[in-house]
Chains A and B, each alone.
Chain A
Amino acid sequence: MQFPAPSKSPALRTEQIILFRVSGQLFAVSSGSVQEVRSVDSLAGSAAEITAPGLKKVRHIVRRSDKSLFVVNGALHFGLPVTPGLLVLVLRRTRTALLIDGIEKMSTMTILQALPQAFCNEERAWYRGLTALDQNVVPVVNPEGFLTSEEIVVLEQSQNSGVSGAKTAGSSIGSVHEPA
C-alpha cells in the first residue's frame, strides 16, 4: 500500500549575508559573493600602490596568483567620511577587494526588495536592493558595482604604466587617504 507523500509547504528560500560597516554605515553582502576576508596587515606584503586619474577610491592593488585585485576604499566609494579600514573583503568573480571598517555579523535574508525607482543615480549600480532585518533597512551591495568596466581599464593602464612595481611603502592599505 502506498501512501501519498505528505504535502509540504514550499520552503522559503533564504540567502546568507554578511553585515559589515563602512564609516559607521551598515551594509550587507551575500556571503556567496565573498571569497576571502583578510586583515589589511595580512595583505600588506602583496600590495602595491597605484594612482589612477580620477579614481581616488583605489590606492592599492593586491597581487594574486593569476590576477591583480584593486582595493576599493568603501568609504570613498560611497561618499562617506573616510575612516581607517581594518578588513578587506575579496569579492568573488570581480577584480574588487573592498576595504571596510569591520564585520558586524552574519545573518539571513528572505526578501530582497528592489531599490525603489525614486533612487535613480549611481546607487542603482551599487546595490542589488534593500532588505529589512530586525526592523532595520540595510542596503545589499552589488559586488560588481564597485568598479565599472571603464574604471578597470583605467586601473589596468595605470598598473601597466610602471606603478605596479612599487611595493607599498609610505602607506598601508587601511591608512586614511583624504581625497586630494
Chain B
Amino acid sequence: MNPRNDLGSQSFVLLRLGDRRFAMVASQIAELVAPSRIFRFPHRTQGVEGVILRRGRIVPVCEVSEKLIGKNLLTRRFYLIAVRNYGEKSEWVALPVTGECELIAAEMSPATEADAPYVAGWISYDGNVIEVLNIDALTPGPVSAPSVCVPLEMQEATT
C-alpha cells in the first residue's frame, strides 16, 4: 500500500464508531479483523479492556469510543489493528470499531492548537470534514519503552 499518491494526497482508513466517522493514516493500520474472544485480567489502566490473540501476538484492546463519541460501543463488529509507537518501538493495539472500514485518498489539513491532542489533522471526504486520529495520543501508554515477544531463554539473557 502506497500511503502517498502522485497527486500529493495520502491514503487513509475510514472507520466508524457509532454514527460518526474518523480517519487514520493507512500506514498505521496493520489489519481489520472480525471480533474474537477478549481476555480480561486485573489491571489499573483506564481505556484498556483486555487483550486478544492475533497471529500469535497478544494485542491490547483499547476502548477509544468513550473519548471520541462520549459513549461505549453497544455493537461491535470488528477490531482495527493499528501500529502504536512508543518512542522508537512500536506495538499493535486493537481498536473496536462499529462497521467496515474504507480505504480512501485525501489531502490532510494539519491540526491546530484548538484541536484535541488525539487529532492529527482533518480531511474532507464525501461532503464531510473528518478528524484524522493520532493513535499515539489516543491510546494509553508510556512515552517510550520496549516490549517484544521473546523465548524465555532470550528473555533471561537480557535481564
Contact = CB atoms under 8 A, between A and B. Distances in A.
A138 B145 CA distance: 22
Contacts of A15: 152
A97 to B, nearest CB: 19
Interface in A114-173: 114-123, 126, 130, 132, 135-139
Interface string B124-159: 000000000000000111100111111111010000
Interface residues of B, number: 34
Interface stretch (B8-16, B37-45, B67-75): B37-45
Residue in A12, A27, A119, A138 with the greatest tally of chain B CB atoms within 10 Å: A119
Interface residues of A, number: 32
A111 B149 contact: yes
Interface stretch (B19-27, B57-65, B103-111): B57-65
A116 B39 CA distance: 13
B151 A119 contact: no
Contacts of B139: 118
Nearest to B149: A113
B19 to A, nearest CB: 27
B53 A116 contact: no
Contact of A118 (B56, B140, B152): B140
B53 A121 contact: no
A126 B42 CA distance: 10
A111 B152 CA distance: 6
A38 to B, nearest CB: 24
Interface string A2-14: 0000000000111
A55 interface: no
Contact of A117 (B41, B147, B151): B147
A111 B151 CA distance: 5
B42 A25 contact: yes
Contact of A79 (B42, B48, B148, B150): B42
B42 A116 contact: no
Given A118-B140, A123-B44, A126-B43, 12 more contacts: A13-B153, A15-B152, A112-B155, A113-B57, A114-B147, A117-B86, A117-B91, A119-B48, A121-B43, A123-B45, A126-B42, A139-B41
Interface of B: 39, 41-45, 48, 51, 53, 56-60, 62, 84, 86, 89, 91, 93, 139-142, 145-153, 155
Interface of A: 12-15, 25, 27, 78-80, 109-123, 126, 130, 132, 135-139
